[in-house]
Amino acid sequence: MGIWDKLKGELIDIVEFLDNTQDTIVYRFERHNNEIKNNAKLVVRESQMAVFVNEGQIADTFTPGTYTLNTQNLPILSTLKGWKYGFNSPFKAEVYFVNTKNFIDQKWGTKNAIILNDSRFGMVEIRAFGMYSFKITDAPVFIREIVGTNQSFTTANIQEQLKSIIVTRFSDAVGETNLPIENYASNLNELSEAIFGYMQDDFTAYGMDVTKFLIENISMPDEIKKEIFELSRLERIDLDKLMKLKAAKAMEASAENPSGTAGMGMGLGAGMAMASQMTQAMTNQMQATNQNTQATPPPIPGVGNYYVAIDGKQQGPHDKAKLAELVVSQQLTRETLVWKQGLAGWEQAGDQADLQDLFAATPPPLPKQD
């Protein structure tokens, strides 16, 4: 540094920072030997904060305005320096200007695919990208936790850290929502709001606030997209209309045969035959599907479970096998009161149609002997 630069640095009595960039978050004001003159002017503009650091320790902070630097405006620094009655000579301190505006249009995206377990397609890889905005809300915390001693700190210096936070929260959010993968596109706003809430504490720990977060797109492998499209078409297709359409196209193609009227007739006949074959083939396929569907007989209707009144106490519910045992042990007779779902009240077992076979298999009582 030349003599003039040294003298010019010592003569500086205005401390300010004019930001001509769009990405500077923190700027350390440079002077010769970090010296500031007594009664120098500090100018803090809108969307700025000024932080004074003395020997690595954060001291006074200033919000927008113009200040005369003396012991009254630097109470913490005055204490650290041991100034009791003011000072006349220049003092040393680092001055950091922190930009508190909104840093908009910050990009984020997944470097690597995120693997999710979808209920329909199994393990699926997805990728996502979008944008977010943030601003500094606690300048001393941001300087202490992030900036350190850097002379200039821009959005590029912190992008990777913030992206890691966002991608982690995104992975947690999509895993907890359990949305079908085909529904992601229609729920981008809901996912964005959920992740926005998850990130607040992470940003606050660095003296920052995320002011906006958006997911612009969630992509998946092409083969999964193809399957989703095919399934959606199958769910909406009308087989009858499809057969008629194919038959009409076949007849139209045959009628365009250039062999004249005879060719037209032959073409029409061939087209009708082709349409008939297609219709028959699709009909056979549908019948085979129906036969396969009906190959398994419906379950045999069973007897509902009954509650039984034995010795004045309710027992059950019992299935038919257990009821048969009670009949054999003569704990269940025709006169025993029973109840099952659907009955208005307790009724005698002998009045229940589905229990008649139990009593038919029971021998009558032995005749009395003289």
CATH of the domain at 203: 3.30.479.30
CB neighbourhood size of 229 (10 A):
11
- Digit-coded pLDDT (tens) for 194-219: 888 888 899 999 999 999 999 999 88
Does 366 map to a domain? no
More confident site: 108 or 4: 108
Residue with tokens 């991608």, as numbered in its chain: 167
Contacts 24+ apart (CB under 8 A), 76-81: 76/52, 77/52, 80/54, 80/55, 81/54
> What is the value of pTM for the model shown?
0.57
Domain holding 323: CATH number? 3.30.1490
The pLDDT value given to residue 11? 52
Number of structural domains (the chain) is 4
Which is nearest to 269 in space by CA: 284, 255, 248? 255
Tell me, yes or no, whether 80 and 173 share the same domain.
no
Q: Is residue 336 one of the residues assigned to a domain?
A: yes
Give yes or no: residues 109 and 161 share one domain. yes
> Is residue 259 very low, low, confident or very high in pLDDT (cuts 50, 70, 90)?
low
In angstroms, the CA 370 to CA 362 distance is 24
323 Cβ contact list (under 8 Å, min separation 6): 306, 308, 332, 355, 358
In degrees, rounded to 5, the angle at the alpha carbon of residue 308 between the alpha carbons of residues 303 and 311 is: 160
Residue with tokens 């377990």: 117
**Co-location of 108 and 218 in the same domain:** yes
Task: Give the separation between CA 214 and CA 210, rounded to whole angstroms.
Answer: 11
**Are 183 and 274 members of one domain?**
no
**Same domain (yes/no): 131, 202:** yes
pLDDT-based confidence at residue 287 (cuts at 50, 70, 90):
low
**With contact defined as beta carbons under 8 Å apart, do 338 and 308 qualify?**
yes
- Tell me which residue range forms the domain holding 19: 3-99
